[in-house]
Structure 1
Amino acid sequence: MARSLDGLVLAPVADQAPGQVGTRTRFTYHEEDGRIWADYAGGDVVRGHLVGTREGDRLDFRYVQLKHDGTTSSGHCVSTVVDLPDGRVRLDETWEWESRQGSGTSVVEQLPS
């Protein structure tokens, strides 16, 4: 199992579609006893939260976010935790909106210290 995500700050490696999470978004993760949660903000996102579980290297969580234009959206994501050769962590994500149409994949990586 990869190391704990507790206290790690991760960011997307590429921008998604306009108005979504992007390279300016920062996720601060927390983990305890198989539970994970994170707060995120940046770019078009004023505030976002995710909450879910971790089993081995698999994360399963729901997310909700508020954008600068006042709209909210929510969805579901399953991620695989990967240890990078330089000691950082990467999450390979498959997500789907639940509040609207759309799905995709993304990658977020731990920021260098």
Structure 2
Amino acid sequence: MARSLDGLVLAPVADQAPGQVGTRTRFVYHERDGEIWAEYAGGDVARGHLVGTRAGDRLDFRYVQLKRDGTTSSGHCVSTVVELPDGRVRLEENWEWESQRGSGTSVVEQLPDDADLRIVPTG
């Protein structure tokens, strides 16, 4: 099993469609006893939360977000945790909206220690 996600800051490696997470979005992950949760914000997302479980290198969680235009959306995601050669963590995600139509894949990676963290959400 890859290392704990607790306290890690991750960001998407590419932009998604407008109104979704993008390269300016930051996720702050927490993990304890098989439970995972995170806060996220940045770009078109004013505030988001995810909560779920971890079994080995598999995450299974629901997410809900408030977009800057005042609309909300929610969905389900299953991710695989991968440790990169430089020791950082990557999540390879398969997601599906539950509040609207659409699904897809995305990748988020742990930011390097010297990354700009000005957009990191705070609870």
CA distance in 1, matches of 2:76, 2:24: 21
CA distance in 1, matches of 2:81, 2:95: 15
2:60 corresponds in structure 1 to 60
**Runs of 4+ with deviation above 2 angstroms:** none
What per-residue deviation string (whole Å, max 9, x for no partner) do you get for residues 13-55 of structure 1?
0000112100000000000000000000000000000000000
Normalised by the length of structure 1, the TM-score is 1.00
Shift of 1:86: 0.2
CA distance in 1, matches of 2:26, 2:76: 18
CA distance in 1, matches of 2:19, 2:7: 26
Aligned pairs, how many?
Answer: 113
1:100 corresponds in structure 2 to 100
- 5+ residue gaps, structure 1, are none
- 5+ residue gaps, structure 2, are 114-123
CA distance in 1, matches of 2:90, 2:66: 24
Q: CA RMSD in A?
A: 0.3
Matches within 5 A, 1:26-105: 26-105=26-105
Residue identity opposite 2:93 in structure 1: E
Q: In structure 1, the residue corresponding to 2:73 is in which secondary structure?
A: strand
Residue identity opposite 2:72 in structure 1: T
Residue identity opposite 2:33 in structure 1: D
Normalised by the length of structure 2, the TM-score is 0.92
Residue identity opposite 2:17 in structure 1: A
What per-residue deviation string (whole Å, max 9, x for no partner) do you get for residues 58-100 of structure 1?
0000000000110000000000000000000000000000000
Structure with the bigger percentage of strand:
1
